[in-house]
Structure 1
Amino acid sequence: MTGSALAPRMPVAFAETVGLLDLAGGDVGVVICEPWGYEAQCARRALRVLSDRLSALGCPVLRYDQPGSGDALAAGADIDGLAPFEVALAAACETLLRGTRATRVVLVGLGLGAALCLRHAVSHPQTVSGLVLLAPPAKGRVWLRELQARAVMIGEVTGSAPAPGPGEALRIAGLPMSKALADELRALDLTAPDGLPACPVLALAREGRAAEGALCEALAAATGGEAGIMSGYDELMTDPTGSLVPEADFARVLSWVQRLLPRADAAPAGDGAATPPAARLAGPSFTETLCLFGPQETLVGVWCAPSRPDPQALPVILLNAGGNPRAGWARGGVELARSLAVSGVPSFRFDIADIGDSRPLPGGPQVVHYHAGLPAQLSAAIDLCQAMGGGDRVVVTGNCGGAYLALNGALADTRIAHVVAVNLQRFLWDPRDDVAEVLRFGHSSASEYGRKLFDLGKWKRVLAGKSDPLGILRSLAVRAWRQGERRLAPWLFGLAPFSRLYHQVHANLAALALRGVAIVLVFSEGDPGLAQLDTFFGDGWKRLAAYPNVEIAMIPDADHNLTPDAARLALREQVIGAAMAEAAREAAGAQPAA
């Protein structure tokens, strides 16, 4: 669903968090309560898709960030119990009822969000008319053990072992959980509730979880609802970039919710709605505003204004890395934006189309990463920065695919004065490559795949149809062929495809050098993207000398995603330096870049 088929949206703020309200006109609204932490990162895009489909039924829908997650005000480690989550859910229901025609609410919860929805429905029987529980954790202690095991697995994949800080029970993908919250979750037992909801329940358990399945069956039997299996859970939670929408599960949710709706036609979108104030959150050194922008207000971002702005600082635009929502891996985007504000630097972080909260553009591609239309979205973000008073020159930073957009966006928009590209994997996209395949296999080396050939668990996935061995072999064969082509590229004078791409990369860098665009290429030590420097600049990167505007910076002891705190601190210093670079040059008597 794209464009005019979608209900208009309104940013909202409440209970120290933010959300998006889909303004369909029905009198039964839906509040979507996301899971905790890493699961919320993986599910963000899918829950936006579900929200759009529910609003197409005529339901106003509110999705919001859990406390300590996404763009919420609090840090994750500061959430010391379930009370902030319960307050946020109650405020979300109130915001939905106050801001739309809705008089009743259906709650949809995933993971920990399902547990919160069940508890809220029991304590608020007057307003909750239906309950959808997706993968509800039957017992908190079991759920925590699963979370800890997954944290270790993600650490092995990324090369950054989970390292909880003081007062933290665990970290998963850099996201902390406090010991106090873990203690309360450990005591959570949905199989022995204080009461039962007074509304019908659709409850879908994860496959192979007996206790979860028994809970769902019991709730459905007690409320005249339905129970079943959430077959798409594993594919939904693979990782933020590889996450797949659980189509069959969502189809069941939509069908079930539709049966709860009155027969009468829905009122026009926004009819009877009260207009809430601007969606702003204020911290000690910043004020953040959730914004819609771009064609048909498809794109979503957060303008972070410092309380004491430095008039010489350039605003910074933060880009998505892969499928990670704008809050960033390990919430690094939020952390960076608010740290910049302490230094007086404004920033804007946003989701490109069909990532996170941003809807797909009409006629947009199925796979948005590395698409040729992305620079236009970056330009729209720069337009918003100007409208917010940020001036007409900006710094752009991003990791991986975001680094690619930052560098190539600077070619398309002369307002970009400085680029901080982190762990860049491609200077230019080779049109012969399949984007989806590269995203699946691009960061694994041939030796890593060789080790997987002797991994019993990987073979079980192959035999179960959950892995694609032919795709892996095809990817390795293409890599071997291209590796030879890359070695010869400088001497083929454009006669081979990669040779033409090689010369275009150097033409692009020359154009940026002529414009005086400063470029910092930041790499984690050992990152696969470093091979690009060997390919385009030769042994010892000697050909970089032709581009005095390009600087290389290395971050030690860091993974591709910059999970460790020290790695993100090192990046922060680079970005602050870029934002203040022109002021430093002027102070030294140099002229700013043309």
Structure 2
Amino acid sequence: MNLTDQILSGAPRPGPSGTVGRPVAFAGCAGLYHPAPGATAVLMVGTWGYEAFCQARARRILAERLAAAGYPVLRYDHPGTGDSLDDGAADLAGWSAALAAARVRLEELSGAERIVVVAEGVGAALVLAGLDPDAPWLAGFAALAPVVSGRTHLREIQALGAMVGGTLPDAVAVAGFRLPPGVAADLGRIDLRSAEFHVPAAFVAARPARNTEEALAGRLHTPSGPAELVAYADYEASVGDPTRAEPPRATHDALLSWLAAAVPAGHARPRPVAAAPASDELVGPGFVEVGVRFAEAGRLYGVLTSPAARAARTAVVIANAGRDPHVGWARFGVDLARGLAAHGVAALRVDLSAVGEGLPPAGAEDAELLYSVIHQDDVVAAADFLVGEGFGDLVLTGRCSGAYAVLHAAPRIAAARAVVPVNILRLVWDPRESVAAAIAGDVRPIGAVAKQALDPRIVLRILKGEVDPRNLLRRLAGRVAARLPAARAAERARRRAARDLVAGLAARGTTVAFVSGKTDGGVGLIEDAFGPGGAELSAFSGASLRLVADTDHNLTPAAARASVAGILAAIAGAS
């Protein structure tokens, strides 16, 4: 029995705030169930795309807190989003059917007959559009940043896409996350601005200056009056950027307080609990997927994708970039893993410590773990899990900080045949540098920064007051400081360490294939260590630098993601 089976069949395991989520699947949807002893359960119905991507860790923490308060919790991804299966014909009717299936699954797992629905964004519109006030199972409804007008939401998505990027000409999309066209069409017809609703208990967290969200609270009628209304003041901090996003703790505190008063969890189970299956698989075209927990006490999480037609010997470990959850920017983690299955290669897309579903180790709950040895340990744990599952040939990959983690974990993984760091921004960590500075910093060569400062277009924008010249001066000063004698000596030491790392991997037969966007900041670092164009990598057997045109650091353009996927498929399939 593997660890995931033990977790599914055993007693609830504690997380930092409550019970660890158990991977489940139903109706083509992937979900996580948090067991708890209460007689009232909570069904979390999320939003979609970039917003859901940024809030992944926040949703996990809220579910743990709800379970710690006694409420069994199920949360899941809508069809065609997150880890759920794609459905080209997906529409709101399909999403509603998945919602109904989620409720049934929660009843089966928890034994509860009373359920509170906690819905965010589009999820709230989905619930309200199909709400049956006489449903015997409905104990309450909570809406966080609810979508009240579908057309308004679609306009907001267009505006967000203009800021974040990753829009698509033929679809509603942000950061490469695409809303299924059928859902978008149906959503545009939803208008709840004058609708009245009756529920046993209600809670609304409205974003600042969103009058339609505030007004909804007055039209959610309960036996004791209108819904409890609170300000969702910490919303923006939870969705601006997945690496910098913070859970909206104040809003979650208010939600938990309302629940405790309006719909207590209780303790008596109304009926026997259905036995949880040993595993929940999703079967798609050419692949089979299952959520898995691994490392000590199932602390870490991943989704294992395997070819459906034949047993795979090779598996790829896909590590997080920054604090991007395992789904990946533009859903690349999902698409990459399923694409590799078509080549007969398995893949494990993982959440490292304190990222997405990954829990930090004891004592490191508040530590900064990006670029830490702990994340390297996590990559080793993922490799150990795969070896234990029978995969004897591994390829390790990750982007940005994930590239650093797999590169430095590789020497400790005997089964690692290749490591493919993508858009790496640090080859060797400078212990004097903070992660915050690394995220905000500029790793380009001094000439590139100076060239930008003297660009006539930039100069014109400075004169117009559109660009703060102090930002450019700070970047330039930082690069000048890096040229001082002491800094140069440290840089030479890091260069030697990088070359020794690649040499050691090459000597034992592990291929190191750096992949970078042509204009990515890490190209200069690779060239500093291995010569122009990475030419000196040829001195190390199998080592190379491959450049991808027309991309940003996140690989937002679809063509860039396809190029990286092709490189990985060629390397992983070469066993």
TM-score by length of 1: 0.86
1:510 aligns with 2:510: no
Q: Which residue is equivalent to 2:246? A: 244
User: 1:553/1:74 Cα in 2 relative to 1: closer, same or farther (>3 Å)?
Assistant: same
Q: Measure, in 1, the Cα distance between the counterparts of 2:140 and 2:464.
A: 45
Q: Measure, in 2, the Cα distance between the counterparts of 1:357 and 1:146.
A: 28
User: Is the contact between residue 199 and residue 220 of structure 2 (CA under 8 Å) also seen in structure 1?
Assistant: no
User: Is the contact between residue 177 and residue 330 of structure 2 (CA under 8 Å) also seen in structure 1?
Assistant: yes
User: Is the contact between residue 30 and residue 106 of structure 1 (CA under 8 Å) also seen in structure 2?
Assistant: yes
**Where does 1:205-354 land on structure 2 (aligned, <5 Å)?**
205-219=206-220, 223-262=225-264, 272-309=273-310, 314-354=314-354
Shift of 1:103: 2.2
User: 1:277/1:199 Cα in 2 relative to 1: closer, same or farther (>3 Å)?
Assistant: farther
Q: Mean alpha-carbon deviation: is it higher for 401-410 or for 537-546?
A: 537-546
* Deviation by residue 1:27-57 (Cα, 9 ceiling, x = unmatched): 1111111111111101111110111111110
Q: Which residue is equivalent to 1:388? A: 389
1:54 aligns with 2:66: yes
User: Is the contact between residue 12 and residue 277 of structure 1 (CA under 8 Å) also seen in structure 2?
Assistant: no
* Deviation by residue 1:117-148 (Cα, 9 ceiling, x = unmatched): 33354356311211111111121111110101
Aligned mate of 2:81, from 69, 75, 81: 69
Q: Measure, in 2, the Cα distance between the counterparts of 1:123 and 1:154.
A: 39
Q: Measure, in 1, the Cα distance between the counterparts of 2:272 and 2:522.
A: 51
* Deviation by residue 1:343-402 (Cα, 9 ceiling, x = unmatched): 1111111111211122222112522211111122112211221232222x2001111111
Q: Measure, in 2, the Cα distance between the counterparts of 1:473 and 1:545.
A: 37
User: 1:306/1:542 Cα in 2 relative to 1: closer, same or farther (>3 Å)?
Assistant: closer
Q: Partner letter of residue 511 of structure 2?
A: A
User: 1:274/1:233 Cα in 2 relative to 1: closer, same or farther (>3 Å)?
Assistant: same
1:12 aligns with 2:13: no
Q: Which residue is equivalent to 1:356? A: 356
> Secondary structure in 1 aligned to 2:220?
helix
**Where does 1:66-465 land on structure 2 (aligned, <5 Å)?**
66-74=78-86, 78-122=88-132, 125-155=135-165, 162-164=167-169, 168-193=170-195, 195-219=196-220, 223-262=225-264, 272-309=273-310, 314-364=314-364, 366-391=367-392, 393-441=393-441
Shift of 1:326: 0.9
User: Is the contact between residue 31 and residue 63 of structure 1 (CA under 8 Å) also seen in structure 2?
Assistant: yes
Q: Measure, in 1, the Cα distance between the counterparts of 2:397 and 2:314.
A: 12
Shift of 1:316: 1.1
Q: Which runs of 5+ in 1 are unaligned?
A: 156-160, 460-468, 583-594
Q: Measure, in 1, the Cα distance between the counterparts of 2:283 and 2:482.
A: 51
Q: Measure, in 2, the Cα distance between the counterparts of 1:253 and 1:34.
A: 15
Q: Which residue is equivalent to 2:555? A: 562
Q: Measure, in 1, the Cα distance between the counterparts of 2:361 and 2:97.
A: 34
> Secondary structure in 2 aligned to 1:389?
coil
Shift of 1:440: 3.9
Q: How many pairs does the alignment contain?
A: 551
Q: Which residue is equivalent to 1:573? A: 566
Q: Which residue is equivalent to 2:41? A: 29
Q: Measure, in 2, the Cα distance between the counterparts of 1:290 and 1:472.
A: 45
Q: Partner letter of residue 260 of structure 1?
A: A
User: 1:97/1:265 Cα in 2 relative to 1: closer, same or farther (>3 Å)?
Assistant: closer
> Secondary structure in 2 aligned to 1:182?
helix
Q: Which residue is equivalent to 1:587? A: none
User: 1:480/1:204 Cα in 2 relative to 1: closer, same or farther (>3 Å)?
Assistant: farther
> Secondary structure in 2 aligned to 1:315?
strand
Q: Partner letter of residue 319 of structure 1?
A: A
User: Is the contact between residue 8 and residue 24 of structure 1 (CA under 8 Å) also seen in structure 2?
Assistant: no
> Secondary structure in 1 aligned to 2:333?
helix
Q: Mean alpha-carbon deviation: is it higher for 40-49 or for 537-546?
A: 537-546
Shift of 1:83: 1.3
> Secondary structure in 1 aligned to 2:320?
coil
* Deviation by residue 1:244-283 (Cα, 9 ceiling, x = unmatched): 111111111111111134485578xx98453235110001
Q: Mean alpha-carbon deviation: is it higher for 441-450 or for 178-187?
A: 441-450
Shift of 1:293: 1.2
> Secondary structure in 2 aligned to 1:430?
coil
Q: Measure, in 1, the Cα distance between the counterparts of 2:64 and 2:443.
A: 32
Q: Mean alpha-carbon deviation: is it higher for 181-190 or for 4-13?
A: 4-13
1:550 aligns with 2:543: yes
Q: Partner letter of residue 106 of structure 2?
A: L
Q: Mean alpha-carbon deviation: is it higher for 499-508 or for 3-12?
A: 3-12
Q: Mean alpha-carbon deviation: is it higher for 556-565 or for 54-63?
A: 556-565
User: 1:108/1:416 Cα in 2 relative to 1: closer, same or farther (>3 Å)?
Assistant: same
User: 1:483/1:134 Cα in 2 relative to 1: closer, same or farther (>3 Å)?
Assistant: farther
Q: Measure, in 2, the Cα distance between the counterparts of 1:106 and 1:476.
A: 54
Q: Which runs of 5+ in 2 are unaligned?
A: 1-12
> Secondary structure in 2 aligned to 1:130?
strand
Shift of 1:516: 1.6
User: Is the contact between residue 201 and residue 263 of structure 2 (CA under 8 Å) also seen in structure 1?
Assistant: no
User: Is the contact between residue 201 and residue 262 of structure 2 (CA under 8 Å) also seen in structure 1?
Assistant: no
User: Is the contact between residue 2 and residue 361 of structure 1 (CA under 8 Å) also seen in structure 2?
Assistant: no
User: 1:534/1:314 Cα in 2 relative to 1: closer, same or farther (>3 Å)?
Assistant: same
User: 1:279/1:484 Cα in 2 relative to 1: closer, same or farther (>3 Å)?
Assistant: farther
Q: Which residue is equivalent to 2:10? A: none
